[in-house]
Amino acid sequence: MTESTNIQVGILMGSESDWPTMQHAALILDELGVANEARVLSAHRSPHAAAEYAESAAGRGLQVIICAAGGAAHLGGVIAAHTHLPVLGVPMKGWSTDGLDALLSTVQMPSGIPVGTLAIGKAGARNAALLAVSIMSLSNEDLRGRYLAYREAQTRSVLETELPPAGSA
């Protein structure tokens, strides 16, 4: 988590057990120089604090909020109901359906209160951070340059990949 008074992205999760997955969003944001903060706020166990966080987010300079979507998967929806900022949901692998329940709950938000839904788990956390950066880069040329350089590095990495001879693996 970047230390800054100018936090641009909030990363929220319902419990500390989501951090091993959600820290990957923070790591991408840190790599791209985007100030971020991570907090545990529950839609069910701390609903007033979650609503207060969302309602104050824009005034504090946040531009995007990324929410872990665990078990009941309501955190993203609750946050989105209390802010006009983009909210991105990352379904967590669960204890019973390996994240399918969280994915379906997040992707099926009712019309009018959008929550962008990413992939389940670590890939979703990383992509949520990249999508947040993509959104913010629309109005920030310096950030756009860092984001495009990141994407170019990914392209080079793929194009430079050499496979071992068949049968050697």
Note whether residue 141 is domain-resident.
yes
Domain of residue 53 covers 9-160
Please indicate, yes or no, if residue 166 is contained in any of the structural domains: no
Instruction: Label residue 2 by pLDDT band (50, 70, 90).
Output: very low
What is the rounded CA–CA span in Å between residue 64 and residue 57?
A: 9
Q: What domain count does the chain have?
A: 1
Q: Mean per-residue pLDDT for 40-46?
A: 92
Instruction: Supply the CATH number for residue 97's domain.
Output: 3.40.50.1970
Grade residue 151 by pLDDT with cuts at 50, 70 and 90. very high
Helix (DSSP H) and strand (DSSP E) numbers for the chain: 6, 5
Collapsing DSSP to helix, strand or coil, 12 comes out as strand
The CA distance from 113 to 76, in Å, is 10
Annotated binding-site residue? 15: yes
Element (H, E) at 41: none
SS3 sequence, 60-82? Answer: HCCCEEEEEECCCCCHHHHHHHC
45 appears as a binding residue in the annotation: yes
pTM, full prediction: 0.91
4 is in an annotated binding site: no
Q: Tell whether 148 is covered by a domain.
A: yes
